[in-house]
Amino acid sequence: DIVMTQSPDSLAVSLGERATINCKSSQSVLYSSNNKNYLAWYQQKPGQPPKLLIYWASTRESGVPDRFSGSGSGTDFTLTISSLRAEDVAVYYCQQYYDTPQTFGQGTKLEIK
C-alpha cells in the first residue's frame, strides 16, 4: 500500500497569513502515460464530511476559493492557503488515488494563532 505522510500534524497560523501543509507519498503517484499526479486534498470541518478541495495535485474543485492552491509532483506535495480566514479552520487530508487501496494522510489540524 502507498503510505501518505503529512507534516505537520497541527499548525497554528494568524489570520491573513500563509498556511502550508506538506504531504509525502511512499512511492510516486505520477502516472507517466498522462503526466498526472493522482493526488487530492480534502478539508474536513467538525461534524462534517470531507470536502474535495484539489485534485490532480493542483486543480481546484469548482467553487473552492483561489486562496487554496496545490503543488508538487512525484512523491512530494504541498497545500497552501495564501491568506488564512477564520472559516479555514479544519483538518486537511491528502489522498492518493493512483492505486487501490486509496490511502489518506493522517491529517493536519489547522487552527488560528
Partner 1 sequence: QVQLVESGGGVGQPGGSLRLSCAASGFTFSDYGMHWVRQAPGKGLEWVASVRFDGGNQYYADSVRGRFTISRDNSKNTLYLQMNNVKPEDTAVYFCAKASTYDILDYWGQGTLVTVSS
Contacts of 77 (CB under 8 A, 6+ apart): 22, 23, 24, 25, 37, 39, 57, 70, 71, 94
Nearest-approach distance from CB 91 to partner 1, in angstroms: 8
Q: Which residues bind partner 1 (CB under 8 A)?
A: 38, 40, 42, 44, 48-52, 55, 61, 93, 95, 97, 100-107
Count the alpha carbons within 13 Å of 32 in the hemisphere toward its beta carbon.
1
- Residue 37 Cβ vs partner 1, minimum distance, rounded to whole Å: 11
What minimum distance in Å lies between the beta carbon of 65 and partner 1?
17
The radius of gyration of the chain from alpha carbons, rounded to an integer in Å, stands at 13
C-beta of 13 vs 92, nearer to partner 1? 92
Our CB check for partner 1 shows the closer of 62 and 86 to be: 62
